[in-house]
């Protein structure tokens, strides 16, 4: 017999039918009465002083209801991490795409037309696009910060010199992780509506509905309670959809006009002014003893923030030290520098810095294992953290399925046989990763999550949470957890959309935290509701609540499923006895996590840590440099998979995204201008580019997870680029260190290798 | 020093600014994406068999998306009280305005045009319009019920024969209360949207959002949970806006088209197919001893239900026995008959039957006092129920301000002086009334009300309730009660709109129950939230929760308002400590009321009983019959007035509506056709028709009321027609027994009087 009835079983997404039939209204489908359409005039220059803006013709244009420049905004510096944002550019523009002015009009054509009537006089300034250049003496200063440095990260542990001396092998290299775009289906969009009381309601797809209000309220000069965020279904995010000026421009246009204002980025705007991945230069040196025991690791990371800071410095910090809790290290020396550049502001993308560093580390480990003459899988197995261990940074590994992931992945991939010497350009490569489920360091005020469960007369269960379903299936997972806890079928549960006027204050969907945090929050809420229901049932059945359990849609005597009352009947009676007031369970979950020490970074930052091992198999056409993905195995420690089919879907999506990054995706620029800002020129992997992907779910029960679950969002992508790089090395003997591995780069590497060998 | 900080103080309506600036979107302002417009084809005949409906041309018309007849509906009989409704007429039409077919089209013009293309072949049947005629042998049967009788009410208490024998004076008369229209500003309207899962969301102004789902779900053949009712702001109701076929027709049109369907009655439709007041014939006989002690009362009421039953029989029952708990009676004999007629279905209108009978009783008491040679005020004072008494039907009068109302009203009106013999046609008349606050008999399942209060990080308090603000100011009253309980300023409180997916299951706004029931429900919820907040504060202040109070926006040591922490700070800390979960207080209130015995009607049906005394002063132009209202005093026992200015507003509105009924309002018919279905021909009192109205709030503390409050909605109107009738008798010596007292009737009465006197 199954331990669980709903959890651990695969269910279609509860909002899948509406999405599949086209009935779902995504953010960009919203239409409010009297709604206007906003458009933004963006800078054509990467760095320039704004001398004059003449909006007079635009204001007179047909259908135009408002034209705004910085002068129409509160001009309060703000930002989620550093206060270097303005709603509209005030003195200078700092990247091609920077927001200069905006228009609200009766339709998009009128707004677009009005944009063309705004005249801006610029005085062009020297610009800098590469972070290494930007740090040089004499480089143009973007925000008047010395050397354009936004933030630095330094960390040193153990005796590095000794660690390297004791090493049998030391490998070092420089890696470059390029700028890639999240390529969600729905570009950034919103409808902002400021009511007569001055309260802003922002309908937007945002991963952090509660937290985003804090910088927004500051930017608009409003008290926090005057900013309400409602999250309709939205078409993907992958880290990009946190704060964006688009929302604030819409808010100011609505303030000016008194009407709801819709804004929707064109795909091009979304490329040039979205929040792509932080590109990084990574210098990495790593050593090991003869037996494979890792010794020291030294890294230096230079990351480009772009023209203002979104979360780049936190992403660089994550790159600097997250992998340190994947393996046992004795000494570490880490430096991370985040630098302004005259390019699009960069931010979160699945993996949050850990993806970048995992590429470097796992590539380097492959070389290290070669130096040691050791199987790469063996090297990971030897050093990987196991259940019960505490990492060098104090991370308490409550459960680790890393070993099992490596075992199962290698077995499924035919690792032993396929590593054998090659006759042609076919190879297999392996990479591992760790990650967090939640990150105590991200919000200072608190960690944890709350949920509310309310059950009305009909016995229908409504769940409120403060996270955000960007399409990953969060709602279904929450519904399953609540259904399991209450012993009712899944279709008795509905999950309310997030609305900051109604939902718990939640941190949102990032850091692979949704299932563990939100899941525990709604589980606690369901448990509290169940407690009340069992009390009412005990009164009706004349027994003690402790004799009862909720199971199979019944409240029944423990172990006697037919001896009881239907859940619905108990709830109806309870609601009548309560004067119509529904059963409301407000629950919450507080993990035992720690804010890391500001200097040592020591502190258990997450309640759970997922692990993974992925294996790529490739074949290279050495004439063209074309890489063919032949097979892929992804074994993931997800704790208990609440919804296995959806978890596998996440794995497949992550691998596809990782392969895209490894082989083809790149935001190409010329003098700060992105030259491929569309899906014709920016190539994503299609079905034919992808190999069969075998997902293996490794399910150690995580003690802190709801029903033992961890998260899967980010780990799904983290190891993929390294797995591909290592497979390429295995296939053709060239070590690719700069993403993506385009045919041109592979041909060049093959040519250089040939030259070396000659 | 004031006992209360928010309650008992006058506040503008919290939604007043939005309404005054036109920003409020009423039901008829709603526009949903893809929305269609529905129109109904109504019967032009009062009684006819439907032989054939040809919709083929309409279906082909431009812009038409659906045309429906009864065949497209589930054809399940339903209704709030008796199952004599169909969504669309199936076999017969029964009144002019009956719903025959409906169209949904891209705009209203296309829908209207399509209606004209539907051809219906009728076979006309004999019709009957007057309930007395309808009860006669051989009258056409409307629903195949013997004598067209819907329901009968019989009640007999005490020895009536002896009571009348012991009387010094007995007065009897026949009264007629006519059909009047509620004349709310916004006609009935809705948007119905059936989603791909078959769930109906109905946006509608309804007084009973939770209860109305029950007959609607039945009519549509849906489980209850598939019917969600959302109540946007709406433009008045006065009893009319409970169930209406309009909502169901919209629902079926949305089922057929998959689109939201908006429907809005034209004013004419609202007159001919709304829910006007139940017209009644009332025969009343009443006796008193020489000292004025009332003895027996015998009544017979015949009420017209119209062509189907909304709530008419309950309204007739109310007419039959509610006034019995205004005065002390020794014997009662009551018969009430509700009869089908081929006229618009009749229903609730402020006063709910009690208004009709109060007109009769208070008119008769005036004559009785004349027979006794006793001041009419004296007669009421002698017999009126006082605090602590139990009425003949078991009603426990927890507080009665009747005596004080009479005292204060007579004093303010200059009663003693103005009753003196007349030199010209000017007179003064008095009438009293009682009413209920809530009615245990209305819903069998339960009595009471629930509320939910949730307080997020910002300290903003959100209140959920299940009642309905039809414009009377319910939201403001609830906000005041919660603010008082939590010790925060009123502007910290918001009241959520009713949405049956989110709100407590509530009975709704009727029977003057909102303030007492909903108010107690939200007060209990606020108290529960406060309990949690005090516990958190006690932890922060290192004291016991019992040492603390919530006051002036602070949680402070009792009696030491500066020794404490701001409410907001405590809440923020608590929310962080709860993993973001807001403070949620789910409270409820169950009154100690009783379902009356089915035979004896004995049982305390309400937790509180409001009383009133109104005095009208009139002058009659005896040449034209025109009545000029000179002055008006309305003293109302409202318990504690939560929002005095709004309470006075309710009184003034009720008196205005009562004067309109007394002097001018009448739905005039010719052979079942309403001939004045618009505001040009149906005359409402304007400002110039109204006298100065002095509202006097009498405030005995009601032990069952929230902060001592009772209700005011209905009593404000109940005594007005009798007060005017009694003033007219005092002015010109004619007893007007048929509403309204038009100049023609007054001239005729004066002429008849003159003839009698000659």
Q: pLDDT tens, A426-482?
A: 999 999 999 999 999 888 888 999 999 999 999 999 999 999 999 999 999 999 999
* DSSP β-bridge partners for residue A695: A634
Q: Do B579 and A502 touch (CB under 8 A)?
A: no
Which residues on A lie below 8 Å from B447 (Cβ)?
Answer: 579
Q: Do B579 and A589 touch (CB under 8 A)?
A: yes
Judge if A510 and A431 occupy the same domain: no
Nearest residue of chain A to residue B504 (CA atoms): A581
Q: Domain of residue B283: give its range.
A: 127-183+275-384
Q: Do A576 and B452 touch (CB under 8 A)?
A: no
Top residue of A581, A591, A595 to mutate, by most chain B CBs within 10 Å, is A581
CB-CB: which of A448, A457, A581 is closest to B588? A581
Contact B298, B364 (CB under 8 A): no
Nearest residue of chain B to residue A23 (CA atoms): B196
State what percent of residues in chain A have pLDDT above 70: 100
CB-CB: which of A29, A521, A580 is closest to B504? A580
- Which has the closest alpha carbon to B706: B593, B558, B591? B591
CB-CB: which of B30, B450, B579 is closest to A590? B579
Distance from CA of A500 to the nearest CA of B (A): 9
Tokens standing for residue B467:
């009642």
Judge if A145 and A286 occupy the same domain: yes
Pairing of strands B99-105, B36-42: antiparallel
The CATH number linked to B57 is 3.90.1170.50
Q: Do A447 and B579 touch (CB under 8 A)?
A: yes
Top residue of B442, B518, B579 to mutate, by most chain A CBs within 10 Å, is B579
Reduced to 3 states, what is the DSSP secondary structure of residue B409?
A: helix
Distance from CA of B132 to the nearest CA of A (A): 41
Q: pLDDT tens, B556-579?
A: 999 998 899 999 999 999 999 998
Which residues on A lie below 8 Å from B499 (Cβ)?
Answer: none
- Which has the closest alpha carbon to B128: B106, B147, B114, B115? B147
What is the overall mean pLDDT for chain A? 96
The CATH number linked to A666 is 3.30.365.10
Distance from CA of A584 to the nearest CA of B (A): 7
Judge if B493 and B579 occupy the same domain: yes
> DSSP strand E in B379-508: where?
426-434, 449-455, 461-465, 493-495
Report which secondary-structure segment, H or E, holds A744: helix A743-757
| pLDDT value of position B1 | 37
Judge if B246 and B112 occupy the same domain: yes
Reduced to 3 states, what is the DSSP secondary structure of residue A227?
A: strand
Judge if A314 and A430 occupy the same domain: no
Low-confidence ranges of chain B (pLDDT < 70): 1-2
DSSP designation for A235:
S
| Largest Cα span, chain B | 90
Measure the CA–CA gap between A722 and A356, rounded to whole angstroms.
Answer: 10
Does residue B8 belong to any structural domain of this protein?
Answer: no
Which residues on B lie below 8 Å from A586 (Cβ)?
Answer: 578, 581-584
Does residue A264 belong to any structural domain of this protein?
Answer: yes
Report the pLDDT averaged over residues A694-720: 97
Q: Do A580 and B17 touch (CB under 8 A)?
A: no
CB-CB: which of A18, A451, A504 is closest to B196? A18
In chain B, how many domains are there? 4
Q: Do A197 and B507 touch (CB under 8 A)?
A: no
Which residues on A lie below 8 Å from B579 (Cβ)?
Answer: 446-450, 504, 517, 521, 588-590
Nearest residue of chain A to residue B445 (CA atoms): A576
pLDDT over 90 (residue A744): yes
Residue with tokens 């309870």: A574
Does residue A353 belong to any structural domain of this protein?
Answer: yes
Distance from CA of A107 to the nearest CA of B (A): 16
A611-621 sheet: strands from edge to edge: A426-434, A611-621, A626-637, A693-698
Question: Taking the C-alpha atoms of A271, A275, A277 and A279 in order, what is their torsion angle to the nearest 10 degrees?
Answer: 90
Tokens standing for residue B131:
């309930």
Judge if B150 and B281 occupy the same domain: yes
pLDDT over 70 (residue A708): yes
Distance from CA of A493 to the nearest CA of B (A): 12
Query: In this predicted model, which residue has the larger pLDDT, B424 or A409?
Result: A409
Q: Do A460 and B18 touch (CB under 8 A)?
A: no
Which residues on A lie below 8 Å from B453 (Cβ)?
Answer: none
B554-557 sheet: strands from edge to edge: B548-551, B554-557, B560-566
Spell out the residues 6+ positions from residue B715 whose beta carbon is closer than 8 angstroms to its own.
B433, B434, B435, B512, B610, B611, B612, B636, B654
Distance from CA of A223 to the nearest CA of B (A): 9
DSSP designation for B7:
T
Measure the CA–CA gap between B59 and A586, rounded to whole angstroms.
Answer: 52
Measure the CA–CA gap between B249 and B100, rounded to whole angstroms.
Answer: 10
Judge if B475 and B418 occupy the same domain: no
A-B Cβ pairs (cutoff 8 Å, strict): 168
* DSSP β-bridge partners for residue A306: A340
Judge if A713 and A636 occupy the same domain: yes
Q: Do A23 and B450 touch (CB under 8 A)?
A: no
Measure the CA–CA gap between A132 and A147, rounded to whole angstroms.
Answer: 10
Q: Do B580 and A504 touch (CB under 8 A)?
A: yes
Q: pLDDT tens, A268-302?
A: 999 999 999 999 999 999 999 999 999 999 999 99
Report the pLDDT averaged over residues A702-730: 97
For A704, other C-beta atoms within 10 Å of its C-beta total 24
CB-CB: which of A18, A504, A580 is closest to B505? A580
Q: Do B18 and A462 touch (CB under 8 A)?
A: no
Report which secondary-structure segment, H or E, holds A611: strand A611-621
Q: How would DSSP label each residue in A646-695?
A: HHHHHHHHHHHHHHHHHHT----EETTEES--STTTSPPP-GGGPPPEEE
Measure the CA–CA gap between A137 and A146, rounded to whole angstroms.
Answer: 9
Tokens standing for residue B11:
């506040």
Does residue B466 belong to any structural domain of this protein?
Answer: yes
| pLDDT value of position B160 | 96
Does residue B596 belong to any structural domain of this protein?
Answer: no
Which residues on A lie below 8 Å from B457 (Cβ)?
Answer: 210, 224, 505
Which residues on B lie below 8 Å from A517 (Cβ)?
Answer: 579
Q: Do B18 and A588 touch (CB under 8 A)?
A: no
**How sure is the predictor about A653, in pLDDT bands with cuts at 50, 70 and 90?**
very high
Judge if A150 and A251 occupy the same domain: no
Nearest residue of chain B to residue A517 (CA atoms): B579
Spell out the residues 6+ positions from residue A358 whose beta carbon is closer than 8 angstroms to its own.
A323, A351, A431, A433, A718, A719, A721, A722
Contact A95, A43 (CB under 8 A): yes
Q: pLDDT tens, A21-43?
A: 998 999 999 998 899 999 999 99
**How sure is the predictor about A2, in pLDDT bands with cuts at 50, 70 and 90?**
low
Judge if B429 and B473 occupy the same domain: no
Judge if A263 and A283 occupy the same domain: no
Q: pLDDT tens, A57-87?
A: 999 999 999 999 999 999 999 999 999 999 9
Q: Do B448 and A580 touch (CB under 8 A)?
A: yes
Cα separations (Å) of B755 from A32, A138, B750, B751, B752? Answer: 68, 115, 9, 6, 5
Distance from CA of A474 to the nearest CA of B (A): 18
Does residue B11 belong to any structural domain of this protein?
Answer: no
**How sure is the predictor about A1, in pLDDT bands with cuts at 50, 70 and 90?**
very low
Does residue A659 belong to any structural domain of this protein?
Answer: yes
* DSSP β-bridge partners for residue B21: none
Q: pLDDT tens, B664-710?
A: 999 999 999 999 999 999 999 999 999 999 999 999 999 999 999 99
Which residues on B lie below 8 Å from A196 (Cβ)?
Answer: 17-18, 21, 23
Which residues on A lie below 8 Å from B446 (Cβ)?
Answer: 576-577, 579-580
Tokens standing for residue A62:
């047909």
Judge if B95 and B203 occupy the same domain: yes
Which residues on A lie below 8 Å from B225 (Cβ)?
Answer: 458, 460
Distance from CA of A496 to the nearest CA of B (A): 9
CB-CB: which of A29, A33, A466 is closest to B29? A33
Reduced to 3 states, what is the DSSP secondary structure of residue B209?
A: coil
**Looking at the predicted complex, does its ipTM rise above 0.90?**
no
Q: Do A210 and B580 touch (CB under 8 A)?
A: yes
| pLDDT value of position A562 | 87
Does residue A4 belong to any structural domain of this protein?
Answer: no
Contact A354, A435 (CB under 8 A): yes
| pLDDT value of position B2 | 53
Q: Do A586 and B590 touch (CB under 8 A)?
A: no
Measure the CA–CA gap between B618 and A523, rounded to whole angstroms.
Answer: 68
């Amino acid at each position: 017999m199954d331990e669980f009835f709903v959890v651990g079983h695969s269910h279609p997404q509860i909002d899948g039918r509406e999405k599949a039939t086209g009935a779902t209204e995504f953010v960009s489908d919203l239409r409010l009465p009297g709604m206007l359409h906003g458009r933004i005039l963006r800078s054509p220059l990467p760095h320039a002083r704004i001398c004059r803006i003449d909006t007079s013709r635009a204001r007179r244009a047909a259908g135009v209801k408002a034209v705004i420049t910085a002068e129409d905004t509160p001009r309060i510096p703000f930002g989620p991490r550093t206060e270097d944002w303005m709603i509209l550019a005030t003195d200078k523009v700092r990247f091609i795409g920077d927001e200069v002015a905006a228009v609200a009009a009766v339709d998009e054509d009128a707004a677009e037309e009005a944009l063309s009537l705004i005249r801006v006089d610029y005085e062009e300034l020297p610009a800098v696009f590469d972070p290494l250049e930007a740090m040089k003496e004499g480089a143009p200063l973007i925000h008047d910060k010395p050397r354009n440095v936004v933030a630095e990260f330094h960390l040193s542990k153990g005796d590095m010199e000794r660690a390297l001396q004791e090493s049998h092998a030391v490998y070092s290299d420089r890696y470059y992780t390029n700028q890639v775009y999240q390529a969600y289906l729905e570009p950034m969009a919103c409808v902002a509506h400021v009511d007569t009381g001055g309260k802003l309601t922002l309908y937007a797809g945002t991963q952090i509905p509660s937290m985003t209000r804090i910088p927004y309220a500051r930017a608009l000069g409003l008290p926090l309670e005057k900013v309400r965020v409602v999250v309709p279904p939205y078409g993907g995010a992958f880290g990009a959809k946190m704060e964006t000026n688009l929302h604030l421009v819409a808010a100011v246009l609505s303030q000016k006009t008194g009407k709801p204002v819709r804004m929707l980025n064109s795909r091009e705007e979304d490329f040039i002014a979205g929040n792509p991945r932080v590109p990084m230069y990574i210098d990495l040196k790593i050593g090991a003893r003869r037996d494979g025991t890792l010794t020291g690791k030294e890294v230096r990371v230079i990351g480009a923030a772009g023209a203002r800071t979104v979360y780049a410095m936190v992403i660089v910090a994550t790159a600097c030290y997250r992998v340190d809790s994947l393996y046992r290290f004795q000494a570490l020396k880490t430096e991370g520098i985040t630098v302004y550049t005259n390019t699009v502001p960069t931010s979160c993308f699945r993996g949050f810095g850990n993806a970048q560093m995992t590429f470097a580390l796992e590539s380097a480990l492959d070389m290290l294992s070669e130096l040691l003459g050791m199987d790469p899988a063996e090297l990971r197995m030897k050093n990987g953290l196991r259940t019960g261990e505490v990492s060098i940074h104090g991370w308490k590994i409550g459960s680790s399925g890393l070993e099992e992931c490596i075992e199962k992945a290698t077995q499924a991939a035919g690792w032993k046989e396929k590593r054998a010497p090659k006759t042609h350009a076919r190879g297999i490569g392996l990479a591992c990763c760790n990650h967090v489920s939640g990150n105590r360091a991200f919000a200072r005020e608190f960690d944890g999550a709350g949920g509310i469960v309310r059950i009305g007369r009909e016995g229908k269960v409504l769940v409120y949470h403060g996270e955000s379903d960007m399409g990953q299936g969060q709602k279904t997972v929450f519904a399953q957890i609540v259904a399991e806890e209450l012993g009712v079928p899944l279709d008795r549960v509905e999950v309310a959309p997030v609305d900051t006027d109604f939902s718990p204050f939640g941190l949102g969907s990032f850091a692979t935290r949704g299932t563990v945090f939100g899941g525990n929050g709604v589980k606690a809420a369901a448990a509290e509701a169940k407690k009340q229901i069992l009390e009412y049932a005990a009164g009706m059945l004349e027994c003690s609540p402790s004799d009862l359990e909720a199971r199979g849609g019944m409240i029944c005597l423990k172990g006697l499923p037919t001896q009881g009352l239907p859940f619905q009947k108990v709830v109806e009676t309870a609601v009548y006895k309560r004067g119509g007031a529904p059963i409301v369970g407000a629950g919450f979950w507080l993990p035992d996590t720690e804010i890391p020490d500001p200097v040592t970074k020591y502190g258990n930052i997450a309640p759970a840590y997922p692990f993974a091992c992925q294996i790529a198999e490739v074949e290279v056409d050495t004439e063209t440099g074309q890489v063919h993905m032949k097979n892929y195995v992804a074994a993931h420690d997800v704790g208990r998979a609440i919804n296995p089919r959806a978890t596998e879907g996440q794995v497949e999506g992550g691998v596809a995204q990782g392969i895209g990054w490894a082989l083809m995706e790149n935001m190409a620029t010329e003098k700060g201008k992105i030259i491929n800002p569309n899906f014709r020129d920016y190539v994503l992997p299609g079905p034919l580019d992808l190999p069969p992907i075998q997902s293996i779910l490794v399910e150690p029960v995580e003690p802190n997870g709801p029903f033992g679950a961890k998260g899967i969002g980010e780990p799904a992508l983290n190891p993929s680029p390294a797995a591909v790089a290592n497979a390429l090395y295995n296939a053709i003997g060239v070590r690719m260190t700069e993403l993506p591995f385009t045919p041109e780069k592979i041909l060049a590497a093959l040519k250089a290798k040939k030259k070396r060998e000659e």
